[in-house]
Chain A
Amino acid sequence: MKTRLLILGLLSTVVALSGCVTKPYDYTNFRAHPPRSILVLPPLNESTDTRGTYGYLSTVTMPLAEMGYYVFPVVVVDQYMKENGLPGAGEMHQVPLDKIRDIIGADAVLYITLKQYGSKYQVLTSTTIVTAEGKLVDVKTGLTLWEGTANVQQSSSSGNIIADLVVAAVDQAVNSSTDQAHDLSHMANMQLLMTKDHGLLYGPYYPKEK
């Protein structure tokens, strides 16, 4: 961890926050059916990095809870579903809403799909990309309360070729054992869920302004 922090500090890390800055999301459905509790299902992973589903899942609870929602315990839910015949994210995303209401009692379900997840190593640099789509669905009515996309990219290139060579070597050594896209998922999530006018609205546990 220390090494990683040091390396992160040495690198001139370029974080590109893209995503469209268009008009605010239409929160009509969200305001009509404001959830108290959110069930986060393990994300569908469309990338080739098999670590995506759980590398991303483990970063979703904190932003949602700090935004004021009750978030169901992600590991307990995942294990419960597996024990009940749903081996993976694909099957879990197919569970009918009335079943979710009966078994979990959630107000809303957050479905996440990872369009991209992982690192690419070139000669001099590595690039890590996380692209996530999110959809929040009201359990009672089936209405989509919110949808959003986040795209976060991090590159280790500094522009100095000697420095880059050293960095690339260290990078590959360090990152072959760690999942950089997991670290980047924290940022992707904040962009996905917390961006003003495009993320979620605050929930019932969010502290009222004084």
Chain B
Amino acid sequence: MLFTGCQSPAVYYWGHYEDLVYGTYAKPDKFPPEMQVQTMEEDLHRAISANKPVPPGFHAHLGYLYFQLGKADLARQEFENEKKQYPESTVFMDRMLANLSKK
């Protein structure tokens, strides 16, 4: 949407990531974790079909939503996915993983 016309095509499959970030704060009642998880899981499938990587933060955001829903195993998997795709996230993701084991 933003990166059309004179810009080169987007590197990432964005799906609804930024809309969810906005909704988390602007309309929290309409963007509960369950709804966000469903949207992101669908986006993840679309990204795979489109053969494009998901953007930085996508897996971490999804992991945090799983964590909020009490799904620790899925949360752990997503934090690991963020690390695998983007090693720059290692310090912060390790912190999130450590928090998971504490609870």
Contacts and interface: CB of A to CB of B under 8 A. Distances in A.
Contact of B89 (A66, A70, A207): A70
Contacts of B57: 61, 65, 71-74, 76
Q: Determine the main DSSP class of B at the interface with A.
A: helix
Nearest to A104: B92
Interface string A13-39: 000000000000000000000001100
Contact of A70 (B19, B21, B88): B88
B50 interface: no
A54 B18 CA distance: 11
B21 A57 contact: yes
A186 interface: yes
B56 A51 contact: no
B90 interface: yes
B18 A62 contact: yes
Contact of A66 (B10, B21, B91, B92): B10
Interface in A44-96: 51, 54-55, 57-59, 61-63, 65-66, 69-77, 79-80
Given A51-B26, A66-B10, A205-B11, A105 B88 contact: yes
A37 B93 CA distance: 14
A73 B18 CA distance: 10
B92 A74 contact: no
Contacts of B88: 36-37, 70, 105, 107
B22 A54 contact: yes
B46 to A, nearest CB: 17
Contacts of B24: 54, 75
A1 B26 CA distance: 15
B97 interface: no
B60 interface: yes
B12 A75 contact: no
A179 B22 CA distance: 11
B21 A75 contact: yes
Interface string A174-210: 0000010010001000100000000000000111000
B93 to A, nearest CB: 9
Contacts of A76: 57, 60-61, 63-64, 92, 96
Contacts of B55: 61-62, 65, 71
Interface of B: 2-3, 8, 10-12, 14, 17-19, 21-22, 24-26, 55-58, 60-61, 63-64, 82, 86, 88-92, 95-96
Given A58-B21, A62-B18, A207-B8, 5 more contacts: A61-B17, A65-B56, A69-B56, A71-B56, A206-B11
Interface of A: 36-37, 51, 54-55, 57-59, 61-63, 65-66, 69-77, 79-80, 102-105, 107, 179, 182, 186, 190, 205-207
A-B pairs with the 3 shortest C-beta distances? A105-B91, A73-B57, A54-B25
